[in-house]
Chain A
Amino acid sequence: MSQWLAWSFLFTVPGLVLGSTGAVKRPGLASIPGPIAILALAVAWLVGAGQPTAIELGGWLPFVPDGRFLLRVDALSAFMLGVLGLVSACVYVYSLGYLEGDPGIRRFFAFLDVFVGAMALLVTAGNLAVLLIGWTGVGMTSFFLISFWRDRPGTLYAGLQAIAANAVGDGALILAAVVVPAGCGDLASLQRCTGGLGGAPLLAALIVVAASAKSAQGPLYFWLPSAMAGPTPISALIHAATMVAAGVYLLARTYPVLALTPAAVGATAVLGVVTALFGAVMSLRQTNLKRGLAYSTVSQLGYMFAAIGFGAPFAAIFHLGSQAFFKALLFLAAGVVIHALAGEEELAAMGGLGRALPAAMLAFVAGSASLFGLPLTAGAFSKDAILDAGFGIAPLLAWSLIAGALLSGMYIGRLFFATFYAPPPDEPRHLHPVSPTLIWPLLPLAIGSLTFGFAQFPLGGLGHVLEPALGPGEMLSLSSPAGIVAAWLGLLGFIVGTRWRVRRDEGARPLPERYGWVDWASSVSVAVAEGFARVQNGRTGRYVLATVLGFAAILLASRFG
């Protein structure tokens, strides 16, 4: 069974072929079995305690230190595959309804199939070379899906922002793959690969940079809010539950290497906490529903990075699972609202939808509860695990995260109220009918958001399963003081948030936010382009002179270099 799971990155290929060639009439239908197969096998592995296994094809890339095609299935990759399978299955079904009638729907499902395959490859990769394929593959498909709607302005620009940020991460990971000593690259034994130039600190730094780019942490956060230009199912799958979590997965997987450099671990903790608070504050300022949720994702990923920094990779992965459930749920619920309002995403145009869209409203409540940490929800338990670890290492940072719980409640309460219970705008509006395929996928995600925590509490089952990969998992209790404080603050925040009125006169901003420094960068590049046009001006005499001077320069450089 493990052997099958190792090849799970190919499970979406039949759907891709049948769907994009038109062999199956209804677009998207051929692709649905793929993620379900991944989910089923992953759950079977986890529950039946499957055996870790590896698939190795040697001699594939002779020019990197470790160029084998190496796949490895263990508890951590099975868990990630389970998350991927579940959320993508829900999103596939949801997309059948969400994109019905869109002329590009076959292309959409084709990209989704490639994404799921690449993500599966990423989490089953056994060495850096294979990881790089999955890593860049998810970045590429994310780009194609963000810029999916070719007729809306700004989607390409948003996609290019994602490329730019991803490029930084990809570059760091490429360097990591080539600077290790010969024969090195196996993710399970990377901690022995510190003999190259720069040693363990360099490797740790490169890994942290790569993870930060993928998970939108620190200065590389900017692409995630812009990525909301893509269709909402994509925001749920890629930019909430799976791809952005790949950075956290990488940190958890390579934790033994990071642990060799305490400064790197500490920096990760600080980065995580700062980003967690930053994301929460920014979410409070958003007037667009999806952007509000996007900043929330940035914030929650910060919690996961903080967990890594606290030396608790299990807590980070546990929270990854919770966030996958509740964030995907929140996005899909938001998608129901947006679909009903024919594409409207601005909070100012919403309000009063609680009665008209009860399923979406309840789903949003469930997701919010898990997010702000209502006791017994998944989010509460996983946040507790992080806080417990934090108080053992860096109490100041842990208190900051508890303050962050208040902010989390506030921003999600604000979004909830503005969407469902604020007074609706004066103009009459017509709600488009919402097909059942948009509602049913909410159910498994809601159940998960509310009950996933019981995988670890009180018996510690999840921690036990993941122990071989991540070390002992934190046991949870209902009576930890930090947890109780955080839960009350979250609830308080939620109530406060519902009192927060979104200013109505801010109007709609259809284009992705342009950041000041990006505009500066593009005017610099225009100036550079004009400079080039002046130099490469087509005048033969100039070219000859420049060439002769070039020869002279090379000759001189070699004499004095």
Chain B
Amino acid sequence: MTLPVYSVAALVTGALLVAGLAGPLTKRPRWAVALGVVTALVAAYFSAHQPGTTPLITHAAAIFLIVALLLGPALELHHRQQRPEVVALTLLAGTGAIVLATGGDLLQLIIGMETLSLSSSLLVALGRGESAPEAAFKYFVLAAVSLTALVYGLGLIFVSTGSLAFPSGPLTPLLSAGLVLMTAGFAFELALVPLHWGALDAYTAAAPAAAGAVMALSKLGAIVAIARLAPLAGGEFLLVLAMVGLLTAVWATLGALAQHEIRRLLAYSAIAHAGFLAMAAGSGAAGRQAAIFYVVVYGATAMLVFAALAGLGPEPIGIGELPERLGLQRSLALCLGLMSLAGIPPLPGFWAKLALFGPVWQALGPVPTIIGVAAAVAAAVYYLKPVPDLWGSLRLSAPRPRGNAGVVVAGLVVLVFTVLPSIVWANIGTV
């Protein structure tokens, strides 16, 4: 895995350009979005011929960025001057995710993670409503706590090996502790269970237009970093990782079952999917491959769901109100997204589950797999509850809130993954 230097440079340049031109761009927000989309496309192009998994990660991040940018106009901001800032922050969040995933040494991983966390906190804070800044603050404070763990772990590794590179060689207790701490720090970004508190509130409070990007990018970056780092700490730690994942999946599924507000439901669902990702990452080489497949597919689905909800305002949205507030296109998109999250074939969420449980069975045995499968299928109940009402309210003419381009792009990506899951799978190199 190599860091796609030109792609990262392109994204940073684009972000700085938008931020620098923030004044003139305030009056022409579409130009800011266009500039951002072009930047993402350029970054994807630059990484197209890199070896290994890097192109897949960069392209996935680029897709998430493009959808998020297209949804940007739906964000209700306090000040118009914040419009270009949102574009810059989104691009920086993407940069952070890519660096976190593909960084060449441990310090690069930390830099990527912090870029991602900081940008995410600010994107969460920018939404309207009272809960957004508060949730962003909590997320920021907890990110600082996890940064402590990360740097402490890095220090232990440096003391053991004398370098900041990915460690190889014999596993001393100090080295092992360092690796565990660093992986745990990335697990915070992934939002695994003993570390998910701030993420849950942040995902709930963020405006849907931003929440999707924050979720998708953080999971993309974090799971790849974990997949690269955790095996170095030995097989027993992989088992711990997988069990933490199982615990997360069960916890979040239980938490989600009783939610009545759609954004909190989706936040718990994101935590549950993080749990499945961790289970996969702890299940050997085949599991790591499945984890990368899962995160790309899940990210696309999350973008679709949040694109459907974008622009509905900062107040809580009860699940029962959805049919009246969504037009035809968004209702269909939400149904598709919810069914994919529930794991209904032939949607990509089902492929992801199928890819995941084979390696988990091989690595962990029958009992954890059965519990995981049970959590996955139980989740179908809460994902599918709103769907009949959404189908029932579909009318050929209905109100259309803004931001539809993002819905269309996200929908197309999900449909491509439905029919051709191998397009993702074939591009996963060894991890």
Contacts and interface: CB of A to CB of B under 8 A. Distances in A.
Interface in B178-235: 180-181, 184, 187-188, 193-195, 197-198, 200-201, 233
A198 B369 CA distance: 13
Contact of A547 (B146, B180, B366, B393): B146
A132 B351 CA distance: 11
B176 interface: yes
B258 A526 contact: yes
Given A178-B358, A525-B257, A543-B138, A554 B425 contact: no
A179 interface: yes
B178 to A, nearest CB: 10
Nearest to A548: B145
Given A547-B188, A547-B197, A167 B145 contact: no
Contacts of A101: none
Contact of A174 (B201, B290, B357, B387): B357
Nearest to A129: B354
B358 A64 contact: yes
B350 to A, nearest CB: 7
B355 interface: yes
A166 to B, nearest CB: 9
Contacts of A148: 388, 392
B366 A197 contact: yes
Interface size class of B (residues with CB under 8 A): 35 or more
Contacts of B354: 61, 63-64, 129, 132, 174, 177-178
A171 B374 contact: yes
Given A59-B422, A171-B374, A197 B361 contact: yes
A561 B145 contact: no
A180 B63 CA distance: 35
Interface in A389-443: none
B283 to A, nearest CB: 12
A211 interface: no
A61 B353 CA distance: 12
B236 A540 contact: no
Contacts of B142: 543-544, 547
B257 A529 contact: yes
Interface in B389-404: 389, 391-394, 396
Given A62-B425, A159-B388, A558 B145 contact: no
B355 A64 contact: yes
B244 interface: yes
Nearest to A533: B258
Contact of A60 (B244, B389, B396, B422): B422
Interface centre among A155, A528, A561 (most CB of B within 10 A): A561
Interface string B253-276: 011011100000000000000000
B256 to A, nearest CB: 9
Contacts of B381: 160, 163-164, 167
Contact of B384 (A143, A155, A197, A550): A143
A109 interface: no
Contacts of B236: 558, 561
Nearest to B346: A133
A557 interface: yes
Interface string A171-188: 100110111000000000
A332 interface: no
Contacts of B193: 550
A540 B133 CA distance: 13
Given A60-B422, A179-B361, A554 B197 contact: no
B361 A543 contact: no
B346 A170 contact: no
A544 B380 contact: no
Contacts of A544: 141-142, 145
B341 interface: no
Given A178-B354, A546-B197, A547-B197, A561 B237 contact: yes
Contacts of A137: 344-345
A167 B195 CA distance: 30
A133 B396 CA distance: 29
Interface string B40-66: 000000000000000000000000000
Contact of A549 (B194, B255, B385): B194
Contacts of A104: 392
A147 to B, nearest CB: 4
Given A136-B350, A137-B345, A554-B187, A175 B369 contact: yes
A540 B391 contact: no
A116 interface: no
Given A136-B345, A167-B381, A529-B258, A175 B357 contact: yes
Interface string A527-547: 011001000101010111011
B75 interface: no
A22 B126 CA distance: 43
A102 B3 CA distance: 59
A376 interface: no
B246 interface: no
A150 interface: yes
B3 to A, nearest CB: 27
A63 B352 CA distance: 9
Contacts of B257: 525, 528-529
Contacts of B370: 171, 175
A105 to B, nearest CB: 12
A536 B381 CA distance: 22
B176 A558 contact: yes
B240 interface: yes
Interface in B138-155: 138, 141-142, 145-146, 149
B239 interface: yes
A554 B388 contact: no
A23 interface: no
B104 interface: no
A464 interface: no
Interface centre among A137, A148, A555, A558 (most CB of B within 10 A): A558
A555 B373 contact: no
Contact of B237 (A107, A525, A542, A558): A558
Interface string A126-166: 00010011001100100110011010000110011001100
Contacts of A54: none
B272 to A, nearest CB: 13
B177 A150 contact: no
Nearest to B387: A144
Contact of B195 (A179, A532, A550, A555): A550
Contact of B239 (A551, A553, A561): A561
A63 B138 contact: no
A220 interface: no
B194 A558 contact: no
Contacts of A44: none
Contacts of A129: 354
B306 interface: no
B421 interface: yes
B378 interface: yes
A61 B420 CA distance: 8
Given A547-B195, A554-B187, A167 B377 contact: yes
21 contacts: A62-B422, A104-B392, A133-B345, A143-B388, A150-B392, A160-B385, A171-B373, A171-B374, A174-B353, A174-B354, A175-B369, A175-B373, A529-B255, A529-B258, A538-B201, A543-B197, A546-B194, A548-B145, A550-B193, A554-B194, A558-B233
Interface of A: 22, 59-65, 104, 107, 129, 132-133, 136-137, 140, 143-144, 147-148, 150, 155-156, 159-160, 163-164, 167-168, 170-171, 174-175, 177-179, 197-198, 525-526, 528-529, 532, 536, 538, 540, 542-544, 546-551, 553-555, 557-559, 561
Return the 4 tightest CB-CB contacts between A and B, nearest first.
A550-B194, A529-B258, A63-B355, A167-B377
Given A60-B422, A62-B426, A559-B173, 19 more contacts: A62-B425, A63-B351, A63-B354, A132-B345, A137-B344, A150-B392, A159-B388, A174-B373, A175-B357, A175-B369, A178-B354, A529-B257, A532-B255, A540-B141, A544-B145, A550-B195, A551-B184, A554-B180, A558-B237
